[in-house]
Structure 1
């Protein structure tokens, strides 16, 4: 599967842009601020219906414009042959209206139906935040991956978040109005706990197959200099969880939110049995993040039967020669399918791409 062409209208800093793409390697070059990352974000949104970098959809509308539109055509490849008919995906948003995503000009009733149809993996300079930032960011990363792999997981997660939102709203009402209805609160608990169990089991099963892939890619990138691990932490592993959940009701009322459940899970990254966040060097943290993303790429490929799009944002500027050479080695070995690489230094990209025996197309984005 690859993206044959893409067109942008009023998306971020692009007033209008239309590109016909290589099914192999696409180099996106231009000075900083020209819109290279915005182009990758548009591709990401076509695949996953949301921005990888903006908090709200409205932030994706170019300043002074009233709407944005992204239009692209995806094509399937099988046994080296490309299907003649592509699938057209259009994503648009008008100020004051609801975002619309269409497949072959037919709008989805639920955007979640689109997730996983066109798998994508993004590697960006901010990815080390996964290690340094809060557990919420790590949960989002794994939820994003599992949602691309399993629609049932996405549906269950959306149900869990909806029930928890209503439960938290009820807790706030109890606090503000100084009253309490235990039976009413338990109607939400009877929904929330089974949904949490399903999500917990799926996360646990997934991590067991995902960790060996992370370890494999980390060993490749770092040339087996140290061992790494990934540990899934959850209150639901405790046999007393349901008792602890009910016992936390008083605290929930005081804080006006649900304090126990799978929304408190974390994923701990270790190097040589120490916390990577505290004891890992910048190089080790970068290697771990790349290993995470390459493991994501492989597991999506296995489950979907085709290679995901791989988006590499400003990767040459942030990695040392060893890690760049390892990535180039994988590109040369045709590990990846369609690849998008942004770079602020065109000559460097051309020099690196010159060694590749594959179709490379360069696009220079002007500010």
Structure 2
């Protein structure tokens, strides 16, 4: 699969743009603030119906305008696919495949798999468990549409149970039969999600280990571990045991919404003891493992978006990464960087052709 072209209208700092891409490596170069990352975000929109950095669609509309439009032509398994995303202020987002609008956006997820690697990803390490669950859910959702439906169902059941707990606290009236119904709904949905996450991580961890070892020449000992309350006890048992505590706290304290991924280096938390370079290598290995997992289950190569990743990577890791992603295991690649000469030097050294685009104040030109 590859993206042949993209057209932008009033998207972020672009009044209009029309760019045609090569099948292999495409590099956007220019000063910070020119719009390089915005191009990657537009590609992400076409693949996953949303931006990578900001969940609020209306904030992506160019200042002073009323709508934005993104359109792209994909070659997907030798078939042309035209994808269109349009957002008007105070209106529902329109998303179309070959001019036919989707009834629900979830139907699009996974058809055009994509992996983004960005400095923003440091949140996966530094922020709370929600960021790491989001990472897991993003990968699984691109390979299993039922998973996304089940996740939304679980979150609705969780909201209902939490609302009941708050109502009990306010009214002092406790209906154990009603709480049991909500528990049963949560358990059925939660068990399905836990099973899928567990199976996913059993496949994902070896892929991660492989890529981290390659990036660092086996110089560092790191680990990735899936943590879930459901590993040691049944979900129903956990909810029953925590019922009194939940009523006091007015929220559900047990369940897969508490799942986490634990990252360590030399058996110490990566967040506290990893250098910037080690943290970045860890994140890149996570994303490359995501790419390999998606490729296996989709049967074709996803798009790979690399946003300003050369920062904080030493020369050896940078060259190892580029050598890895520029050869047969990977497909079309989009890169942003401020250094035109640096990009040329890297790809010349590994004998890989690169198509350069100069990006400046919302304009894109072939270099």
Q: What TM-score do you get using the length of structure 1 for normalisation?
A: 0.94
1:362 to 353, 356, 366: 356
Gaps of 5+ in 1: 78-82
Residues 196 and 315 (structure 1), Cα distance of their counterparts in 2 relative to 1, 3 Å cut: same
SS at match of 2:310: helix
Post-superposition CA distance 1:114-153 (Å, at most 9, x none): 1110010011012222112111100000110010111121
Tell me the equivalent position of 2:289: 295
SS at match of 1:59: helix
1:104 to 80, 98, 108: 98
SS at match of 2:311: helix
Tell me the equivalent position of 2:194: 200
Q: Which runs of 4+ in 1 moved over 6 A?
A: none
Tell me the equivalent position of 2:82: 88
* Structure 2 Cα separation of the partners of residues 107 and 350 of structure 1: 41
Q: Is the 8 A contact 1:28 1:363 kept in 2?
A: yes
Tell me the equivalent position of 1:80: none
Tell me the equivalent position of 1:21: 21
Q: Is the 8 A contact 1:309 1:337 kept in 2?
A: yes
Decide which moves more: 176-185 or 105-114.
Answer: 176-185
* Structure 1 Cα separation of the partners of residues 326 and 238 of structure 2: 53
Decide which moves more: 112-121 or 10-19.
Answer: 10-19
Tell me the equivalent position of 1:209: 203
SS at match of 1:259: coil
Gaps of 5+ in 2: 362-367
SS at match of 1:149: coil
* Structure 2 Cα separation of the partners of residues 137 and 40 of structure 1: 20
Tell me the equivalent position of 1:149: 143
2:313 maps to 1:319: yes
2:272 maps to 1:304: no
Tell me the equivalent position of 1:9: 9
Tell me the equivalent position of 2:122: 128
Tell me the equivalent position of 1:46: 46
Residues 11 and 254 (structure 1), Cα distance of their counterparts in 2 relative to 1, 3 Å cut: farther
Q: What TM-score do you get using the length of structure 2 for normalisation?
A: 0.94
Deviation at 1:287, TM superposition (A): 1.1
Tell me the equivalent position of 1:345: 339
**Match runs of 1:255-294 below 5 Å:** 255-294=249-288
Decide which moves more: 305-314 or 56-65.
Answer: 56-65
Residues 157 and 212 (structure 1), Cα distance of their counterparts in 2 relative to 1, 3 Å cut: same
* Structure 2 Cα separation of the partners of residues 359 and 173 of structure 1: 63
Post-superposition CA distance 1:259-292 (Å, at most 9, x none): 2100001110122333222322222211111111
**Match runs of 1:107-256 below 5 Å:** 107-239=101-233, 241-256=235-250
2:322 maps to 1:328: yes
Residues 313 and 355 (structure 1), Cα distance of their counterparts in 2 relative to 1, 3 Å cut: same
* Structure 2 Cα separation of the partners of residues 205 and 282 of structure 1: 30
